[in-house]
Each structure stands twice: as C-alpha cells, then as structure tokens.
C-alpha cells in the first residue's frame, strides 16, 4: 500500500528526478525541505459571541529565483504536510514556466461553508495580520486556492495595505480587476491546460474534434476546462463533483448541469444523465482524462484500470508516484500538474508585474503571453524526454518536467553561493 502523505510524495518525486539527473547531493539536500515554515493561531469572534481559534500555515519552499508565490486554501482537511507539498510543487511550477518567482503556499484549517460573510472576512483579515511579516510583493505573493475567492483576496490585500500604511496591490494576486486584478486571470488555469492539451494531442496523434473527455471536478478549473474543451472540438462525456459523477455518451450540456447543480446542490441529482461514482469516472474509456479535483485520486490501486489515452493533471497531485510508474509502463502519457495547471500562476505573475508597474494589459495581451509560455514549457518537457531517450533513459513527462525545473532552481542556488 502506497503512503499518501503529500509531502512525502513530493520528496519521493524529487528524489527520483535527482537520481536520474545525477543531482549534486548538497543541492538535493537543500531542495528536500522548505526554507521557512510558519504556523499561526487565528482567533475569530463568531456571530454567537464566542471566539473560535483556527490553525493556519504559510510555507516558503524555495526563493532562489524570486519571491515566494502560492495560493491560500481554506479547507477542513488542510494540513502542514499538504501545504509543504504544494509549496514544493509551486517551486517547480514557477521554474518550469521560467518566471522569476519561487514557491510558497498557505492554508487555514476551517470549513468556509459554515462561516457567514462577516466571519469569513474576519478570518481572512486575522490570518493576514498573523502572517504579515511573511508577505510582501518582494517577499511572498499570495493568491486564491481551494475555497478562497477574489473577494477574500481583496480583503487580504486591504488588510496588508493597512499593516504597511499604503496601498500594496502587488502582495496578492487573483484579486477583482477593480482593485488591481488582471484580465484573463479567472480562467487562466484551465486555458493554460487547454494549450497543453492542444500540443499534446498533436504529439500523440489524438484528433480533438469529437475526442471524448472526462473531467473529475466541477469547480472553477473543471468548469472552465469543460467549456474550453468544447471550444477545441472535444466532447465532454462525464464530469463530477464531490457527490458523484454524471455521464452521457452523446456529451453533456454545461449550462444544464450548472443550473441543476445550483438547484439541487449536487451534480449526481442532475436529470437525464447516467449516474457514476468518481472512481467509475476515472476508469471510463475516453481519449482524455482530466483530474481537476483533489490530490491522490489515481493510485496504485486503480492505475491499471485507467483506459484514457492521455491524462492531464489539472488538480494538484492527483496521481501518486506508484500510479505514475504504472501509467508510464502502460504507455499512457500523464502530463503533470505543475505543467498542466501552471496557467494560473503564470497569469498571477502577470498580475504582480502589472501591479508593480501600474500598467495594465488587455485580456488578449494576457492570453497571448500565456499561450507562448505554455507552449514553451510543453516543448521543454518533450525536448528533455527526447534528450534522455537518446541517452537510453526513457523518462515520463513528470520526470522530464522535474528535471527542467530542478536544473533551473539548482543553477540559481549555485550562482547565489547557497551550496
């Protein structure tokens, strides 16, 4: 049985890449652990007059290439190990995209669905007050993640601005455009993934017109991926939320599903479609499988049942190392999260740059720049696979992406004299 601790998985992936590329042991030791970790207690006065204390975290994994960059999660199952793993993956994500940022991540253990608007605002502001010395546009730039929103980012930016005594829009990205947010930010993660899908389909001879796609997850990324897949000509035959999945061989209607989800609160209650479990969705015979929910969805236990011709990891860490090996042995290309879902952090970088310059771009400008970086990143992964194949070492897309990213971070650490 695989151990599914997310940080141990991140370390295991790094260790494997280090072995393949012959990484200097001193650099390897530096990259196995985060540079800084902060744990904080976040007291919030609730509407009933009682004070509830929430636990929060912020991690700087590596800042050799620039300020830490990473989202903030509000989730009842949040843990320090999850935050450390996500901060590590953010390090590799920024390096693979070749943008001048390091990796960070944050989170609060809470269930935001059980908080009213005033409690949510109080929690957001108090969390920033507690981690404020960890933040800053030249230190650590936060962003939204699971169960955090543009409104929450606006509160956090405003609170940090109060702390420093002036407007500091560049401390947080993913904000509403009215307070320094970037055009094109909110579908950037899925749009970036679609650029990868387009390039990968060409490489593997998959015709996207009428290609069957299954998406696990009906959040922002999954929803945008649904609509963008259809724009590429593909047919989304299955999608899920935490309650279950719906399937139709003729293709799904996104507008109808959104209305049914709003009406019933669960996709599984949508009428006119076949009901499936999340596991059954993962095992469908489709051209493209897009895990866009939570980590550890494809494991050693079900990797041999995956029938998709290609996997695109839109979620963070949805495929475990054991499953990755099985998919590679079965010749199912699995494009890793820190390539596929990097569109979000790339456009966050654009937002940060626009805030710094006080010079804002159109959506077309943002999307054009995003496309160039995504295509370049995909090409660097493919080229690295070819390079190692020529050396008689066949490596997966994930290992190729790791090697590109680790080489870039290691070069920065070496030049700075860190080892």
CA angle (18, 417, 373) in 5-degree steps? 60
- What's the pLDDT tens digit per position in 202-235? 999 999 998 999 999 998 889 989 999 989 999 9
Kind plus residue range of the DSSP H or E element containing 205: none
- For residue 1, the model assigns a pLDDT of 65
Three-class SS string for 137-201? CCCEEEEECCCCCHHHHHHHHHHHHHHHCCCCHHHECCCCHHHCCCCCCCCHHHHHHHHHHHHHH
Q: Measured on CA atoms in the order 392, 394, 395, 397, is the torsion positive or negative?
A: positive
In our burial notation (b when 16+ CB lie closer than 10 A, e otherwise), range 267-280 reads bbebeebeebebeb
The CATH class for the domain spanning 35-168 reads alpha beta
Over residues 271-275, the mean pLDDT reads: 86
The domain locations on the chain are 35-168, 188-335
Task: Indicate the pTM of the whole model.
Answer: 0.93
Our measurement of the distance from residue 188's CA atom to the centroid of its chain's CA atoms, rounded to an integer in Å, reads 11
- What's the pLDDT tens digit per position in 301-311? 999 999 999 99
DSSP output for 20-75: HHT--HHHHHHHTS-SEEEEEEEEEE-TTS-EEEEEEEEEEEE-TTSSEEEEEEEE
Cross-strand pairs, 310: 288
Distance, in Å, from the CA atom of 245 to the CA atom of 273, rounded to the nearest integer, reads 9
- What's the pLDDT tens digit per position in 161-190? 999 999 999 999 999 999 999 999 989 999
Position 264 confidence tier, pLDDT thresholds 50, 70, 90:
confident
Nearest of 255, 237, 254 to residue 246 by alpha carbon: 237
Q: Provide the annotated active-site residues.
A: 105
Domains 35-168 and 188-335 share a fold: yes
CATH code of the domain made up of 188-335: 3.40.50.720
């Amino acid at each position: 049985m695989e151990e599914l601790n997310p940080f141990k998985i991140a370390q295991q992936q790094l260790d494997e890449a280090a072995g393949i590329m012959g990484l200097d042991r001193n650099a390897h030791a530096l990259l196995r652990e985060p540079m800084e970790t902060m744990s904080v207690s976040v007291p919030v006065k609730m509407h009933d007059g009682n004070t509830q204390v929430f636990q929060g975290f912020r991690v700087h994994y590596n800042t050799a290439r620039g300020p830490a960059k990473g989202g903030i999660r509000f989730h009842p199952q949040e843990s320090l190990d999850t935050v450390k793993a996500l901060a590590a993956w953010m390090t590799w994500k920024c390096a693979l995209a070749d943008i001048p940022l390091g990796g960070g991540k944050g989170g609060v253990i809470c269930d935001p669905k059980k908080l009213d608007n005033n409690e949510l605002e109080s929690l957001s502001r108090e969390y920033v007050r507690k981690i404020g010395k960890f933040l800053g546009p030249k230190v650590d730039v936060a962003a939204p993640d699971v169960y955090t929103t543009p409104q929450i980012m606006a509160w956090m930016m405003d609170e940090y601005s109060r702390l420093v005594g002036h407007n500091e829009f560049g401390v947080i990205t993913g904000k509403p455009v009215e307070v320094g947010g970037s055009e094109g930010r909110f579908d950037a993660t899925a749009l970036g993934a679609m650029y990868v899908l387009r390039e990968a389909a060409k490489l593997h001879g998959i015709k996207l017109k009428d290609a069957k796609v299954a998406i696990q997850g009906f959040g922002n990324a999954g929803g945008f991926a649904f609509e963008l897949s259809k724009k590429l000509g593909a047919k989304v035959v299955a999608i899920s939320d935490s309650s279950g999945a719906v399937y139709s061989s003729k293709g799904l209607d996104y507008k109808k599903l959104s209305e049914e989800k709003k009406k019933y609160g669960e996709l599984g209650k949508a009428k006119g479609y076949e009901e499936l479990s999340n596991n059954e969705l993962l095992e469908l015979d489709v051209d493209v499988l897009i895990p866009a929910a939570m980590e550890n969805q494809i494991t050693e236990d079900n990797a041999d049942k995956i029938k998709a011709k290609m996997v695109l990891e839109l979620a963070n860490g949805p495929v475990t190392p054991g499953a990755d090996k099985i998919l590679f042995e079965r010749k199912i290309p699995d494009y890793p999260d820190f390539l596929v879902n990097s569109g979000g952090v790339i456009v966050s970088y654009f937002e940060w740059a626009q805030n710094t310059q006080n010079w804002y771009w159109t959506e077309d400008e943002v999307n054009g720049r995003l496309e160039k970086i995504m295509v370049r990143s995909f090409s660097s992964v493919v080229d690295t696979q070819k390079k190692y194949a020529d050396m008689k070492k066949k490596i997966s897309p994930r290992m190729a992406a790791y090697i590109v990213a680790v080489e870039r971070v290691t070069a920065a650490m070496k030049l700075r004299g860190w080892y």
